[in-house]
Amino acid sequence: MDGSAPGTRMADYLREHQDKVIGRWTELVVAGVRGRITADEVRRELTDLFSLVVRVVSQADDHAAGELRAALDELSRGRARDGFTPRETALGVFTLKEAVYELVADAADMVPEFLAFSQLVDDLGLRTFEAYSAAREEIIADQATAMLELSTPVVRLWDGIIAVPLIGTLDSARTQLVMEKLLDELVATGAGHAVIDITGVPTVDTEVAQHLLKTVSAARLLGAECTISGIRPQVAQTIVSLGIEFGDIATKANLADALALALRQAGLKVVPALWSKCRSSRSGRRCSSPSRSTCRTRP
Amino acid sequence: MDELPIRSGDDVVRVRQQVRTAAADNGLSLVDQTKLVTAASELARNTLVHGGGGTARVEVVKSPNGRIGVKLHFSDEGPGIADLNLALTDGWSSGNGLGLGLSGARRLVDEFELTSQPGTGTSVTVVKWSR
Amino acid sequence: MIRLQEDLADELAATGAHGVIIDITGVEIVDSYIGRMLSTIGSISRLFDAETVIVGMRPAVAITLTELGLSLSGVRTALNAEKGLEILNGKSRA
Separation between Cα atoms, residue A57 and residue A49, nearest integer Å: 12
Q: Per-residue confidence at A283, pLDDT binned at 50, 70, 90?
A: low
Q: Do C79 and A223 make contact, defined as CB atoms within 8 angstroms?
A: yes
Separation between Cα atoms, residue C23 and residue C77, nearest integer Å: 10
> Distances in Å between the alpha carbon of A120 and those of A10, A65, A101, A179, A290?
12, 11, 14, 50, 89
Section A31-41 average pLDDT: 84
Range of the domain at B76: 2-129
Selected residue of B13, B20, B28, B38 to mutate for chain C interface (largest C Cβ count, 10 A): B38
Predicted confidence at residue B82, as pLDDT, reads: 79
Domain boundaries, chain A: 8-144, 155-265, 275-299
Give B4's DSSP letter: E
| Least CB–CB distance from B66: residue in A134, A176, A180 | A134
- The residue ranking higher by pLDDT, B93 or A224, is A224
The size of the A-B interface in CB pairs under 8 A is 8
For residue B57, report the phi and psi dihedrals to the nearest 5 degrees. Answer: -130, 135
CB B7 within 8 A of CB B53: yes
- pLDDT per residue as tens digits for the range B52-73: 999 999 999 998 777 899 999 9
Section A24-29 average pLDDT: 90
| Least CB–CB distance from C62: residue in A190, A221, A265 | A221
Q: Is A179 on the interface with C (CB under 8 A)?
A: yes
Predicted confidence at residue A275, as pLDDT, reads: 62
Give chain C's domains with CATH numbers: 2-88 (3.30.750.24)
Predicted confidence at residue B98, as pLDDT, reads: 43
Q: Per-residue confidence at A289, pLDDT binned at 50, 70, 90?
A: low
Give C33's DSSP letter: H
Which residues sit opposite A250 in a β-bridge? A227
Section A105-131 average pLDDT: 88
Average pLDDT of chain B to the nearest whole number = 88
Q: Which CATH architecture has domain A155-265?
A: 2-Layer Sandwich (3.30)
Predicted confidence at residue A249, as pLDDT, reads: 93
Q: Do A137 and B31 make contact, defined as CB atoms within 8 angstroms?
A: no
Predicted confidence at residue A138, as pLDDT, reads: 85
Q: Do A223 and C59 make contact, defined as CB atoms within 8 angstroms?
A: no
Average pLDDT of chain A to the nearest whole number = 86
Of B3, B7, B101, residue with least CA distance to B48: B7
Section B100-121 average pLDDT: 89
CB A296 within 8 A of CB A287: yes
pLDDT at C73 over 80: yes
Which chain C residues contact residue B42 at CB under 8 A?
Answer: 31-32
Predicted confidence at residue A172, as pLDDT, reads: 87
pLDDT at A296 over 70: no
Distance from CA of B76 to the nearest CA of A (A): 33
What percentage of chain A has pLDDT greater than the value 90? 40
Predicted confidence at residue C92, as pLDDT, reads: 43
- The residue ranking higher by pLDDT, A17 or B16, is B16
| Least CB–CB distance from B31: residue in A137, A138, A180 | A180
Determine which helix (DSSP H) or strand (DSSP E) holds A281, and give its type and residue range: helix A280-283
Section A261-268 average pLDDT: 90
Q: Do C71 and B35 make contact, defined as CB atoms within 8 angstroms?
A: no
Where residue A35 falls (left for φ over 0; alpha for ψ -120 to 50; beta otherwise) is left
Assembly ipTM: 0.91
Predicted confidence at residue A34, as pLDDT, reads: 79
CB C42 within 8 A of CB C75: yes
Find out if CATH 1.10.260 is the number for domain A8-144.
no
Separation between Cα atoms, residue B18 and residue B36, nearest integer Å: 11
Give A253's DSSP letter: S
- pLDDT per residue as tens digits for the range A191-236: 999 999 999 998 898 999 999 999 999 999 999 999 999 998 988 9
Separation between Cα atoms, residue A89 and residue A37, nearest integer Å: 12
Q: Do B31 and A145 make contact, defined as CB atoms within 8 angstroms?
A: no
pLDDT at A290 over 80: no
Q: What is the CATH number of the domain that holds B104?
A: 3.30.565.10
CB contact residues (below 8 A), chain A span 198-217, against chain C: 214, 217
Of A34, A17, A166, residue with least CA distance to A96: A17
Section A77-84 average pLDDT: 88
Distance from CA of C4 to the nearest CA of A (A): 22
pTM: 0.73
Q: Per-residue confidence at A161, pLDDT binned at 50, 70, 90?
A: very high
| Least CB–CB distance from C93: residue in A218, A224, A267 | A267
Predicted confidence at residue C4, as pLDDT, reads: 85
The size of the A-C interface in CB pairs under 8 A is 55
Q: Per-residue confidence at A264, pLDDT binned at 50, 70, 90?
A: very high
> Distances in Å between the alpha carbon of C93 and those of A11, A181, A263?
84, 26, 12
Separation between Cα atoms, residue A49 and residue A93, nearest integer Å: 9
Q: Is A18 on the interface with C (CB under 8 A)?
A: no
| Least CB–CB distance from A134: residue in B31, B65, B131 | B65
pLDDT at C6 over 50: yes
What percentage of chain C has pLDDT greater than the value 90? 73
Number of structural domains chain B divides into: 1
